[in-house]
A and B are shown apart, each in its own frame.
Chain A
Amino acid sequence: MRGTAVYFTIGLLSIPTLIFAACTKQGSTVVYANGILTTYDQAYDDLHNLQRRFEDALGLNTSVNFTNGYNPSHLAGAGDLIESAAQLFSSSVSNYDLNTILLQIYPEITTQKILFVGHSQGTFYANELYNYLLAHGETNGAVGVYNVATPASSVAGYATVPNEGAYLTSMNDKVINAVRDVAQNAGAAQPLPANIAIPLSPQEAANQFGGHSFSGVYLANAAPRIVFEIEGALGKLTAADSTSSSQADVSATDAGCFTPPPRNFSYYAQRLTFAVADPVAGGVVASGRVIIAAGESAYVAVAAATQAVNLAFASAKKMLTGTVIITAQGTIASIGNYLSSIFVDTGNGNPHVPPASTSTAPIAVIRVSPPQAPPPSTKPPLPPTANATSTPSR
């Protein structure tokens, strides 16, 4: 009796937990990967607006699912900048976010045919997700990529510079144009050439990051083209054994449409690190902003002081906003410093009066050691305002 109980218990404990997820050949899934420094709300709005434009153009299409692969911000945005800098060199500092996106979308994806739509830094992830899926269960031809406002030099799935229909980048996108300068100075691969000219509204023209927003710029001004090209990309996807006449078309032996990455020690260690560091970084940035705000109030009171005092205060303010210290050297350090000079703007055209801080979003600054002056930038002049037009790609 006792022996029977023991063997029964051993048997019970030995039963593995099996999870089956359906993976149908019918329909397709658009997975949206958001850009750098995007909040949850903005990522949600972007996905909603993308689906909305799709429906406006093509009707209520129940065969296309829209899923988000949320790319979270880390270290008050500094982590995003570091990762973006590394991705510019076709490298990666950490695979944590990629794995998190994969683990999150894995139960959501029930179709073999998947199109990753990336925006900004999300285009790096879209390319990486494509490569991962092809290496872990998905069949060639069933996965595609369409990138918007891409700093990447390629679109996954294309051996050379892709033809029309694989990406969309505006020549007035200030963020991508800044990345071109950084890439040129750092010897990294250039982002793909612009292939559309979306005019900037007065607000976008005044915005340091103007011309880059997925919903506010690209969808607002070029939705028909984006929808057309996404639809085209979806049409090129082919599921495995597409001649099957089975209505079910569900692979009963597949555990989902691809093999997700393991939740191993490394993954949990990084998760714990970010769980601690992200709020701390956000708090430090917030504290820094309080100091900045107090400093600005004091500065306004002594605004008539000498230029030497103004310059000294501006330097101190910039040091106070450097809340993340990276001990990177060489090219990564140069990129980080240059990006920090883009994202912390203490100049408003008047060298004597630093502008009052009005943004409530956390400012990400990478301070490298030793600090270096950013290289001079030669941004191309903005074209005159005109209707959005397509320029032929190379």
Chain B
Amino acid sequence: MEPQKTSFWRRAWRAIRIPLVVIVVLYIGLVIYRIPAAFDRQKTEEVVAKIQAEKLKLGDVMGENLPPAPDPAIQDASVAGVDANGNGIRDDVELAIFKLYPNSARIRAAELQYAMALQNELTQVFNSETWIAAVQKESPALSCVEDLKLDGGEVKDLVLNTDLRKKQREDIFKNYSASFTLISGNHCDIEPTPLPN
């Protein structure tokens, strides 16, 4: 009886070992092929977390960290432009908002937040997950501006001030748009009421 059982399993093994080896090799190949995607996944998670955590700071609203005026030859030469103080808002846009509203911290706070969200869309998006994270920040930022009875078009014109940037936004929306859920809750990173003006 025993020799028959052993013989059966040996026969079974002989039958499946080659297909099994093929499957294992393919699986290993798939794992290797997916390594870049795994890194991409990690990068996506990092960028999504960064976008979600990014908030406007009071110091930026009050002008404590204003950047120098960027070199005009450089500021519009690329999509990202210049952000010397590293606050996520392009320097020319930041300075323009301060020039437009030197006496209203509330309007500056709302418009700077919106400008930051639009800049994220231009510079941080490289797939649908990052696109979703970026537009989920854009909607409350726009609502923060609209709460002040402004329409956001002014900030959009400042941020999308070159054909290069407009095309970048178009391409991003075309390539990465997906279904998403808008975030409910407070609109403004910095509550406008306590601000002095």
Contacts of A66 in B (CB 8 A): 181-182, 184
Q: How far is the CB of A184 from chain B (nearest CB, A)?
A: 35
Q: Is B177 an interface residue (CB 8 A)?
A: yes
Interface string of B126-161 (1 = CB under 8 A from A): 000000000100010011001000000000000000
Across the interface, name the chain B residue whose C-beta is closest to A67.
B181
How many residues from A make CB contacts under 8 Å with B?
29
Question: Across the interface, do A68 and B180 meet the contact criterion of CB distance under 8 Å?
Answer: yes
Question: Across the interface, do B142 and A48 meet the contact criterion of CB distance under 8 Å?
Answer: yes
Q: Is B3 an interface residue (CB 8 A)?
A: no
Tell which of B20, B135, B178, B181 touches A9, judged by Cβ atoms closer than 8 Å. B20
Question: Across the interface, do A68 and B179 meet the contact criterion of CB distance under 8 Å?
Answer: yes
Stretch of A57-65, A153-161, A314-322 on the interface side:
A57-65
Question: Across the interface, do B185 and A60 meet the contact criterion of CB distance under 8 Å?
Answer: yes
Binding site secondary structure of chain A: helix
Contacts of B20 in A (CB 8 A): 6, 9-10
Contacts of A68 in B (CB 8 A): 179-180
Interface residues of A in 14-60 (CB under 8 A from B): 29, 39-41, 44, 47-48, 51-52, 55, 60
Q: How far is the CB of A40 from chain B (nearest CB, A)?
A: 4
Contacts of A47 in B (CB 8 A): 182
Q: Is A104 an interface residue (CB 8 A)?
A: yes
How many interface residues does chain B have, given as a range?
20 to 34
Q: Is B186 an interface residue (CB 8 A)?
A: yes
Question: Across the interface, do A64 and B180 meet the contact criterion of CB distance under 8 Å?
Answer: no
Complex CA gap A41/B24 in Å reads 46
Contacts of B23 in A (CB 8 A): 13
Question: Across the interface, do B146 and A52 meet the contact criterion of CB distance under 8 Å?
Answer: yes
Contacts of A70 in B (CB 8 A): 177-179
Contacts of B185 in A (CB 8 A): 60, 62
Given contacts A48-B139, A52-B143, A52-B146, contact A69 B181 (CB under 8 A): no
Most buried by A among B23, B27, B173, B184: B184
Tell which of B27, B173, B186 touches A41, judged by Cβ atoms closer than 8 Å. B173
Tell which of A48, A55, A61, A108 touches B179, judged by Cβ atoms closer than 8 Å. A108
Q: Is B174 an interface residue (CB 8 A)?
A: yes
Contacts of B17 in A (CB 8 A): 6
Interface string of A55-92 (1 = CB under 8 A from B): 10000111011111110000000000000000000000
Contacts of A105 in B (CB 8 A): 179
Q: How far is the CB of A57 from chain B (nearest CB, A)?
A: 14
Contacts of A55 in B (CB 8 A): 143, 184
Contacts of A39 in B (CB 8 A): 173
Contacts of B13 in A (CB 8 A): 3, 6
Contacts of A6 in B (CB 8 A): 13, 17, 20
Question: Across the interface, do B184 and A62 meet the contact criterion of CB distance under 8 Å?
Answer: yes
Q: How far is the CB of A118 from chain B (nearest CB, A)?
A: 15
Contacts of A40 in B (CB 8 A): 173-174, 177
Across the interface, name the chain A residue whose C-beta is closest to B170.
A41
Complex CA gap A13/B19 in Å reads 13
Q: How far is the CB of A311 from chain B (nearest CB, A)?
A: 38
Tell which of B24, B135, B174 touches A44, judged by Cβ atoms closer than 8 Å. B135
Question: Across the interface, do A108 and B135 meet the contact criterion of CB distance under 8 Å?
Answer: no
Across the interface, name the chain A residue whose C-beta is closest to B24.
A9
Q: Is A101 an interface residue (CB 8 A)?
A: yes
Question: Across the interface, do B179 and A101 meet the contact criterion of CB distance under 8 Å?
Answer: yes
Question: Across the interface, do A51 and B179 meet the contact criterion of CB distance under 8 Å?
Answer: no
Complex CA gap A40/B174 in Å reads 7
Complex CA gap A44/B178 in Å reads 10
Can you sample 10 A-B contacts with CB below 8 Å? A3-B13, A44-B177, A61-B184, A66-B184, A67-B180, A69-B179, A70-B177, A70-B178, A105-B179, A108-B180
What 8 A-B pairs come out closest when comparing CB atoms?
A104-B179, A40-B173, A40-B177, A62-B184, A67-B181, A66-B182, A105-B179, A108-B181
List 14 additional A-B contacts (Cβ < 8 Å) besides A9-B24, A40-B177, A44-B173.
A6-B13, A40-B173, A40-B174, A44-B177, A48-B139, A48-B182, A51-B182, A51-B184, A65-B181, A66-B181, A66-B184, A67-B182, A70-B178, A104-B178
